[in-house]
Amino acid sequence: MNLFRRSLIAAAATAVLASPFAAQAQDFKPRMIRFGYGLNEQSNQGRAVKLFADAVEKASGGKMKVRAIGAAALGPDTQMQQALIGGAQEMMVGSTATLVGISKEMALWDTPFLFNNAKEADTILDGPIGQKVMAKLNEKGLVGLVYWENGFRNLTNSKRAVNKLEDLDGVKLRVMQNNVYLDSFKTLGANAVPLPFSELFSALETKTVDGQENPYNTILSSKFYEVQKYLSITNHVYSPWIVTVSKKWWDGLTAAEQKVLMDAARLSRDFERKDTREEAGRALGDLKAKGMLINEVPVAEVNRMRDKLTRVNASIGANVGMELWTETQTALVKLRGAK
Ligand code: TK8
């Protein structure tokens, strides 16, 4: 062995000993983490996954590597969730709404008009209630790390501007695969059709469905403006994303490795929310420039929608458990009184 190589190895050994990853020094092979997500690389979701990947690689000194796989190349949310539970995939980020079939408490976040603004969402999601809902995933083979912002959802369709409740009548509207969404939009008079997000663009393009609902960011990054004429602002629900890990895999990590992931997840959360809010702030202008016709649904009409949906609220309460439901309502009242 020549001198140069020898000193290189010595230097590497020192670096390894100095890091909490010393235990793996002998048979160094980076841990590969397949991290799947549904949106494009050029989206708020894609940017935050990239930031997470870089943070993990840096904090672990290259011993943990994240392979970010977007555009649902590993399958739609529900498929990835099963891969995580089985241990065939390590990580993903997706909608909490598609987790309801696995963990019923997640339906809490589907409550129409639950949060009035992003501040309320952050406080509840990052506080004891959000953490309690997240912890329920552990019984199901998943570990939740953090919530990201998907955002307040709005309606788009190719038929007509929605200015009043009745304009939704018979509109074939794609919803997420979840009974609360299905129920909500049926109650509002739409012909609600559950579909995975990965099939949505082509369903809109071929007019298999007339419309959908998502935050401005997604309407922009998924290019829905190419196949949707009308955007009607309702802000009918705040949707979180959640970063999840396969519990099977997580349980085999060292405490130091788990910490690297948790720290990077928190960094990604703070970055993602900021990035999403900035993008949402300019997205309406961008969508208008792309040719969408945008209208704000009058408050009185939004209130009519809200009233119609109280029936749905009652069933969400029953499904997630009245204790959790009441705790959330009480926390929100308190939060609103405090400002
Ligand atoms: C992306 C989805 C998306 C969600 C939906 O995988 O399905 O409409 O809003 O963000 O999770």
Q: Is residue 3 part of a domain?
A: no
Quote the ligand 1 centre to 334 CA distance (angstroms): 31
Question: How many domains does the chain contain in total?
Answer: 1
Q: Per-residue pLDDT for 1 more than 50?
A: no
Q: Is residue 219 part of a domain?
A: yes
Q: Is residue 41 part of a domain?
A: yes
Quote the ligand 1 centre to 94 CA distance (angstroms): 7
Smallest CA separation from ligand 1 atom 6, residue: 38
Q: Indicate the pTM of the whole model.
A: 0.92
Quote the ligand 1 centre to 38 CA distance (angstroms): 7
Residue among 112, 106, 114 nearest 144 (CA)? 106
Atom from ligand 1 closest to the CA of residue 212: 8
Residue among 33, 12, 34, 37 nearest 22 (CA)? 12
Check residue 93 and give its pLDDT.
Answer: 99
Check residue 24 and give its pLDDT.
Answer: 52
Strand order, beta sheet including 293-296: 191-194, 172-175, 211-214, 154-157, 230-233, 293-296
Domain carrying residue 75: 8-337
Check residue 13 and give its pLDDT.
Answer: 47
Tens digits of per-residue pLDDT, 105-148? 999 999 999 999 999 999 999 999 999 999 999 999 999 999 99
Tens digits of per-residue pLDDT, 226-274? 999 999 999 999 999 999 999 999 999 999 999 999 999 999 999 999 9
Q: Is residue 73 part of a domain?
A: yes
Q: What is the CATH number of the domain that holds 165?
A: 3.40.190.170
CB within 6 Å of ligand 1 — which residues?
A: 38-39, 77, 94-95, 150, 176, 197, 214, 218, 239
Read off the DSSP letter of residue 297.
P
Q: Per-residue pLDDT for 75 more than 50?
A: yes
User: Which of 214, 236, 272 is the pocket-test mutation for ligand 1 (most atoms within 8 Å of CB)?
Assistant: 214
